[in-house]
Amino acid sequence: MAEVRARLGTGCAHCGLAVPPERRAIGSAPAFCCGGCETAHGILRAGGLAQYYALGERRAAPVRPTGRSYDEFDHAAFEELYVSRRADGLATAELYLEGVHCASCVWLVERVPLLEAGIARAELDVRRSLLRVEWDPRAVPLSRIAQVLDRLGYPPHPFHGVAREAMRRREDRAALVRIGVAGALAGNVMLIAFALYAGDLQGMAPGERQMFRWVSLVLTLPALLFPGRVFFTGAWAALRTRALHMDLPIALALAAASVRGALNTITDSGPVYFDGVTLLVFLLLVGRYLQQRGQRAATDAAELLLSLTPRMARVRQDDGALRDVPTEALLPGMLVEVGAGQVFPADGTVVHGESSVNRALLTGESVPVVVVPGDVVAAGSENVGAPVRVRVDAAGSASRLARLLAEVEANARRRAPVVALANRLAGVFVALVLLLAAVTFLLWVGRDTALAWDHAIALLIVTCPCALALATPLAVSVAVGRAARAGIYIKGGDALELLARPGIMVLDKTGTVTAGRHDLVAWDGDPRWRPVILALEEGAAHPVAEGFRRAWPDLAPASLEGVRHDVLGGVSGRWDGREVAIGSPAFVASHGAEITGWRERLAGAAVTPVLLAIDGQVVAVAGFGDPVRDGARDALDALRARGWQTHLLSGDDTAVVTAVADALGFAAHQVIARATPEEKLARIRALRAGAGVRAVVMVGDGVNDAAAMTAAHVGVGVHGGAEASLLVADVHLTAPGLAPLQRLVEGATRTLGLIRRNMLWAVGYNAVGVALAMSGRLSPLVAAILMPVSSLTVVLGSWLGRSFVAAPVATTAASPATRHRRAA
Amino acid sequence: MSVLYLVIPLALVVVALAIGAYVWSARSGQFDDLDTPAMRMLHDDEAGETRSEKREA
């Protein structure tokens, strides 16, 4: 450590890194590693922000400005998309900043208003590297603000998911490099440590012993300085914000043990601790990586959703020429050409051409809808028919898709309190460890100072939360992996924990507990009319027509003439010289048929009636309904037996919903019919407010459920749901029916059991370690065995424990899963 | 056992090479996506079939 600080003292005056010889300054003038740092230094001095250099810890990365003009930040199209104006004349925008690492970055970035007149406020969310800036557009253009940020080493980007995806990837690679390097170094130090311990037991030549100790010192230093640095920066940030963070005792243990180990190596006396130090760095990095990846998947949903919209659009200019522009530059009023098979880049109105549009992304309805000039199309839906010309009505953040996304993001932010609780618990743990180490030191310092150091360091090493840090993320990631193989995609570990305890399960009706399609469920009439019906419905894409075809797949249609599809919702034609008409009671009545008595023929079932009339006589009555999924009752009863409360929410008619609720055993007060998406959302919020510690789980399939799903503690998207609802869901079931839901809850319960067992092991090991260390019986050998064994127990426990079992339909579940991933 | 004085530094060099290779592979993005290639492999199988058919013909 001492070496680093010495290097910092003579390093770059801005970032502290080494200064290349050709840039060395003469005399007392500050030296810089690069032009970027020199510029940044100049800006800070001129702006009166020289205190930045008094901060104990600064961003140790050279400033690499892109030097861009950021002219596009002032463009009207950009402003339209990313800038919002407030009533008081100020403008606000969210920018994603590269290079934000630590507390000093927050300090610096939030002081940008002091550097440039006209900036009212800058607020940085360091976890997401998001800067919210408020400025007076009359005094300073946004491009100027962007330039300043750029020159300070934080190149800004308009915030949207795609660009961040690439940055995330870079961060991920850096984390993997750290883990790999730490692992390789730890493995080699451990090997040497085995030789040293063996030498302690059966004797070893002093020269060789000394060489082994020096080699492990040489291997430990890079492990501390490169992968281990994150703990020191984290601990420093915790100190600065006066919060007790897990990094604090870790950094303390690493620093104390390695300084002590290095001294002992030099003086050739006492234990060296290097095996413990390197293993600690490695295991903690692994635990952290697993945890981060798990959390990230959940928050990425919104950005993935955005990336489903196309990046480029083909604009028809006033002179008739076509030009490709990025979708960000689209403005209301522009004319856009959308070819067959392409996705609409913005909300708009069709002005030329006829086509059909697949709105599955937004509505989950997979039947394409016909659009003609004057019809409205939404961003994200697919043009499946012919090329059309569309006038843009709303683009970017104003589109329906983007507004949905904003709702999702806002809800995701509200979930933070769970994380806060974990941090508080970590704080208690940290305080306890530091206290115990201090007590140990005080207990022994009276007898022997060197011994007191050894015991206190041994305690810090042995209590380092390796097993504890691995216990939850490891069990969760193994369970998530197993669940994926069973056709259940889980995006966040917290979803698993919430599903493990009985709570309130709210189910959408259409498409969730029912199959979500029109099936023929009642029929009263002579079978000889069936071919006539098939002939009338032949070629029609209407759900009723498809329902008839599904019901009688082997019948050949009769031959008809003069078939006419009516806008009122029916079909008429001539069969064998007789007038035939099929459709709703109103349609059949409009064809002069006497329609009394059909209700009795359906025996009062809650179905959509379809009547067939021949020459003004109703000859057959068919009832269409949405059949309840197979096994739904069994799955729901299993959930209720576990203590779950089940609710049914639907936008459907009261009679239909009541019929389904009765069949599935929902209590009357737990059923709500005719609910709009807003009412669903309100219902979930009300349930949450009254649920206390119980989790509210929303199970749905459409975009109309998406807001409710994000408002609930856990959102579950079922098989066949709209792409958008699957993306906002914390859990995505790829197998049909409610049986996967039951498996999900059972698996979550088992996973929580596994986590508890892991925690018990970890805490047990820690307790034993603390007792041994405080009583002075913890030799480095015992510590070296205890620590990996405790982590190994947790690893094995997570791997061997039963969490999710593969579903019997795993093979059929594989294909939609693949499709979903590719779409994402 | 004086051979140790030669072998250990040699081992360190090998370790350095291995770490270098790993860092290169991680930075070049070979660990970015560990799921898709496993699935892609299944599709490659189909391509492999057509290749072998061609060879027979």
pLDDT of residue A529: 85
Return the residue matching tokens 């100790």.
Answer: A213
Inter-chain touch B19–A184, beta carbons under 8 Å: yes
Which residues are within 8 A (CB) of A235 and not within 5 positions of it... i.e. 6 or more apart?
A245, A247, A248, A250, A251, A252
- B4:A184 CB<8 A: no
Please give the average per-residue pLDDT across A321-338, as a whole number: 79
Q: Are A372 and A354 in contact (CB under 8 A)?
A: yes
Q: What pLDDT does residue A272 have?
A: 83
pLDDT at A222 over 50: yes
Averaged pLDDT, A497-522: 83
Angle at which helix B4-27 crosses helix A161-202, to 10 degrees, equals 170
Report pLDDT for B51: 40
Q: At residue A463, does pLDDT exceed 80?
A: no
In percent, the amount of chain A with pLDDT more than 90 equals 9
Contacts with A344 (C-beta within 8 Å, 6 or more apart), sequence order: A338, A357, A377, A378, A379, A380, A381, A382, A383, A390
Q: Which of A181, A184, A205 sits opposite B1 (nearest CB)?
A: A205
> Which of A177, A211, A818 minimises the CB distance to B26?
A177
Give the predicted TM-score (pTM) of the model: 0.58
pLDDT at residue A431 is higher than 80: no
Asked if A169 has any chain B CB less than 8 Å from its own CB, the reply is yes
pLDDT averaged over chain A? 77
* Whether the predicted pLDDT of B57 surpasses 60: no
Chain A residues lying within 8 Å of B29, measured CB to CB: 169, 173
Q: How far is CA A480 from the centre of its chain?
A: 13
**pLDDT band with cut points at 50, 70 and 90 for residue A461:** confident
Which one of A109-113, A223-227, A770-774 scores highest in mean pLDDT? A223-227
Q: Which long-range contacts (CB under 8 A, 24 or more apart) does A190-197 make?
A: A190/A275, A190/A278, A190/A279, A190/A788, A192/A216, A192/A219, A192/A275, A193/A274, A193/A275, A193/A784, A196/A272, A197/A781, A197/A784
* Amino acid at position A400, single letter: R
* A181 interfacial to chain B (CB closer than 8 Å): yes
Mean pLDDT of A536-557: 77
Q: How far is B42 from chain A (nearest CA, A)?
A: 11
Cβ within 8 Å of residue A770, ≥6 positions away: A436, A459, A462, A463
Q: Which of A31-40, A123-132, A189-198 has the highest mean pLDDT?
A: A189-198
Instruction: Please give the Cα distance from A625 to A627 (Å, whole number).
Output: 6
Higher pLDDT, A54 or A272: A272
From B38's Cα to the closest Cα of chain A, the distance in A is 11
List, in sequence order, the alpha helices (H) in A570-675.
585-590, 598-601, 632-641, 654-664
pLDDT tens sequence across A606-649: 677 888 888 888 888 888 877 888 888 999 999 999 999 999 98
CB of A188 within 8 Å of a chain B CB? The answer is: yes
- CB–CB of B12 and A173 under 8 A? no
A198 and chain B in contact, CB less than 8 A: no
User: Where residue A506 falls among pLDDT bands split at 50, 70, 90?
Assistant: very high
Interface test with B, best of A818, A819, A820, A822 (most B CBs within 10 A): A818
Beta carbons within 8 Å of A586's beta carbon, 6+ residues apart: A568, A569
Contact A180 B19 (CB under 8 A): yes
Phi-psi map region of A242: left, alpha, beta (phi>0 left; psi -120 to 50 alpha): left
Looking up tokens 């609720």, which residue turns up? A661
Chain B residues within an 8 Å CB radius of A172: 32
A-chain CB neighbours of B46 within 8 Å are none
Residue A415 pLDDT > 50:
no
Contact status of A212 with chain B (Cβ, < 8 Å): yes
pLDDT at site B17: 95
Residues of chain A positioned with their CB less than 8 A from the CB of B36: 821
Tell me the shortest Cα–Cα distance from A803 to chain B, in angstroms: 21
Quick one: A724 exposed, middle or buried, by C-beta within 10 A (0-12, 13-18, 19+)?
buried
More confident residue, A502 or A241: A502
Residue of chain A minimizing CA distance to B25 = A177
Chain B residues with CB under 8 Å of A181 CB are 19, 22-23
Task: Summarize the confidence of residues A693-698 as an average pLDDT.
Answer: 87
Which of A149-158, A656-665, A674-683, A718-727 is modeled with the greatest confidence? Answer: A656-665
The least confident of A111-120, A210-219, A305-314, A648-657 is A305-314
What is the rounded CA–CA span in Å between residue A486 and residue A464?
35
For each of the domains in chain A, give its residue range(s) and CATH number, in order of start.
2-54 (no CATH), 71-159 (3.30.70.100), 310-398 (2.70.150.10), 488-515+629-749 (3.40.50.1000), 519-625 (3.40.1110.10)
Structure confidence at residue B49 (pLDDT)? 39
Q: Tell me which of A98-112, A266-280, A390-404 is least confident.
A: A98-112
Chain B residues in contact with A819 by the CB 8 A cut-off are none
Which of residues A255 and B29 earns the better pLDDT score? A255
- The shortest CB-CB distance from A173 to any of B1, B19, B29 is to B29
Q: Name the range with the highest mean pLDDT among A57-71, A207-221, A374-388, A704-718.
A: A207-221
What does the pLDDT look like over A153-203, one tens digit per residue? 887 776 654 455 566 777 888 889 999 999 999 999 988 988 888 888 788
Split at pLDDT 50, 70, 90, the class of A60 is low
Reported as a pLDDT band with limits 50, 70 and 90, residue A363 is: low
Nearest to A220 by CA among A262, A174, A191, A248: A262
Q: What is the 3-state secondary structure (H, E, C) of A109-162?
A: HCCHHHHCCCEEEEEEECCCCEEEEEECCCCCCHHHHHHHHHHCCCCEEECCHH
Contact criterion met (CB < 8 Å) for B18 and A184:
yes
DSSP state of A594: B
Of A169, A176, A184, the CB nearest to B15: A184
Highest-pLDDT range among A312-316, A360-364, A478-482, A637-641: A637-641
Strands A561-566 and A731-733 turn out to be unpaired
Minimum CA–CA partner of A824 in chain B? B36
What are the beta bridge partners of residue A732?
A489, A717
Q: What does the pLDDT look like over B23-44, one tens digit per residue? A: 999 988 788 766 555 544 443 4
| Partners of A348 in beta bridges | A377, A392
User: Which of A231-245, A521-535, B35-49 is least confident?
Assistant: B35-49
pLDDT at A86 over 70: yes
Cβ of A177 and B4 within 8 Å?
no
Confidence tier at A4 by pLDDT (50, 70, 90): very low
* Distance between CA atoms of residues A625 and B15, nearest Å: 68
pLDDT at A662 exceeding the cut of 50: yes
Between strands A355-358 and A382-383, the pairing is antiparallel
Q: How many whole angstroms separate alpha carbon A93 and alpha carbon A80?
A: 11
**A188 and A219 Cβ atoms separated by less than 8 Å:** yes
Nearest CA in chain B to A192: B8
Interchain CB distance below 8 Å, A177 and B29: no
Give the pLDDT score at A368. 66
Distance CA A680, CA A711 (A): 10
